[in-house]
Amino acid sequence: MSSRRENKPGPVFSSTGLRTRKDGVTRDILRKEYVPRAEEHIGLLRKSGAEEVMRRLEGYKGKALPAGVVNPYTYIEHNKHKIDYALYKRLGYYIGSGPIESGNKTVVQKRCKQAGMRWNEATAQAMVTLKAREESGIWGASVRDFIMAA
């Protein structure tokens, strides 16, 4: 792929997904052309290639997009310090939403969504914090630290 083509702004993405452009390009054509490129960019990001992805998205630099549409160049530029996925993997952190969603189900839903339960933000946060400590195996140390501090 030539660098000219790589730098050309692509389809419009919104929070609900891919939209057909005003020039009549269909979703199927956009998926065939741009989804593989997006997957390639994701692969580069996983290898800590934020700078390379930004180079490829140069066509979006400073480009105003419709309301509600995130500029991918600007997003990566402002968040590249948060998306060093190779470093996070080396440190043993989870990459992806699966473990987070599972934790949410285990920690929040099982405890806070029982029959008859009513919570406000403060009491729910306190309960979730305690439940997270129990699920993480640090409940005993937390209780011991609390007693020792008293």
Q: What is the pLDDT of residues 31-88, one digit of tens each?
A: 777 788 888 988 898 887 899 999 999 999 999 888 888 899 999 999 988 888 888 8
State the number of CA atoms in the 13 A half-sphere of 15 facing the CB: 2
Contact criterion met (CB below 8 Å) for 112 and 124: yes
Residue 19 is predicted with a pLDDT of 53
Percentage of the chain modeled with pLDDT above 90: 13
Average confidence (pLDDT) over 100-126: 83
Residue 110 is predicted with a pLDDT of 78
Nearest to 1 by CA among 50, 36, 44: 36
Average confidence (pLDDT) over 2-12: 47
pLDDT of 17 strictly over 70: no
Output the six-digit token pair for 18: 């891919």
pLDDT digits (tens, 9 = 90+) for 32-46: 777 888 889 888 988
- E strand or H helix that includes residue 125: helix 121-135
Q: Is pTM, for the whole model, over 0.75? A: no
CA distances 119 to 104, 106, 133, Å, are 16, 17, 19
**Domain extents for the chain?**
3-90, 98-149
